[in-house]
Amino acid sequence: MQDVELLKAALLKASDVAMQFFRADVKKKQKPDGSLVTAGDLAINDELHEMLTTARPDYGWLSEEGPDDPTRLAKQRCWILDPIDGTRSFADLREEWCIGLCLCENGKPIICGVIQPTKHLLYLAEAGKGATCNGAPLHMSDAANLNHARLAARSLARQKLEGSGVDPVNVSYTPQITRLAMLAGSEVDIVLSFGPKHDWDIAPGALLVTEAGGKISDELGRSMIFGQADPKQNGIVAAGTARHAAVMTYLERT
């Protein structure tokens, strides 16, 4: 089985596991950092860890819901998983959650997938081969200015682009990975977020963006390398290539 087929099979399996817990008696607890974890998160993590590390024992592994194994740093390829992005929505019985999985090579995504089980949406991308949603090709919208661009961002990021001509979109309960998938599918035009972001909240959606014709960087415009010793990025700026340049120009002036 090729890596892209393995990734797709893993996401479908993860979807089945998640739906066994969704709207059931979801056991949940707070992690030491104050974030929430449910039995569903942990079950998906354990299922995919077993599935993927058995199939690819020479690949590294990085997941939100597992201990960080430093041996991944010596591996050329590494899986990056967010078992449930939007755990709060999952626990509160809302549908705004997804599962994201990415395979990186030397820190760059080469295949990725995002599945939204409650909405029956499966996004896939492979480097150099495009991005799809349920098999249909994704092509991102773009423009050289920010007028009426649909901005998916929370309050701080919206304030940064105030006066630029953007039209904010309410993404209060929308997970970060889902926003990147929406961007790839031209449901929004800009995804903007500031401050440290974990790799598992970005990597599964990053390749969707670039393979749909867009650009993603940190808030200073720098390229992202995933799976480093400290697996975090300094914010997110994602949009079509021309619009990304317009966002960066505007941010530099403010």
Virtual torsion, Cα 45, 51, 54, 60, nearest 10 deg: -40
The domain of 180 spans 150-253
- 156 and 130 belong to one structural domain: no
Percent of the chain with pLDDT over 70: 99
Question: Could you read off the pLDDT of 194-206 as tens digits, one per residue?
Answer: 999 999 999 999 9
What's 53's domain CATH number?
3.30.540.10
Looking at the domain assignment, is residue 142 inside a domain? no
What pTM, to 2 d.p., does this model score?
Answer: 0.95
- 86 and 168 belong to one structural domain: no
DSSP-H helix ranges across 56-197? 87-91, 155-160, 176-184
Residue type, 68: D
The Cα 172–Cα 28 span in angstroms is: 21
What does the mean pLDDT of the chain come to?
Answer: 94
Which has more confidence, 9 or 253?
9
What pLDDT does residue 34 have?
Answer: 67
The average pLDDT across 24-46 equals: 83
- 198 and 172 belong to one structural domain: yes
Burial class (CB in 10 A: 0-12, 13-18, 19+), 61: buried
- 9 and 121 belong to one structural domain: yes
Q: List the structure tokens of 157.
A: 């990021």
- 13 and 86 belong to one structural domain: yes
The average pLDDT across 12-30 equals: 87
The Cα 29–Cα 227 span in angstroms is: 27
Q: Tokens 């970060």: give the residue.
A: 176
The average pLDDT across 42-48 equals: 97
The total number of structural domains that make up the chain: 2
Q: Residue 168 pLDDT more than 90?
A: yes
Looking at the domain assignment, is residue 132 inside a domain? yes
Question: Could you read off the pLDDT of 52-109 as tens digits, one per residue?
Answer: 999 999 999 999 998 999 999 999 999 999 999 999 999 888 999 999 999 999 999 9
What pLDDT does residue 108 have?
Answer: 98
Question: Could you read off the pLDDT of 241-252 as tens digits, one per residue?
Answer: 999 999 999 999
What pLDDT does residue 24 have?
Answer: 80
Question: Could you read off the pLDDT of 78-92 as tens digits, one per residue?
Answer: 999 999 999 999 988
- Banded pLDDT at 120 (limits 50, 70, 90): very high
The average pLDDT across 227-239 equals: 97
- 118 and 177 belong to one structural domain: no
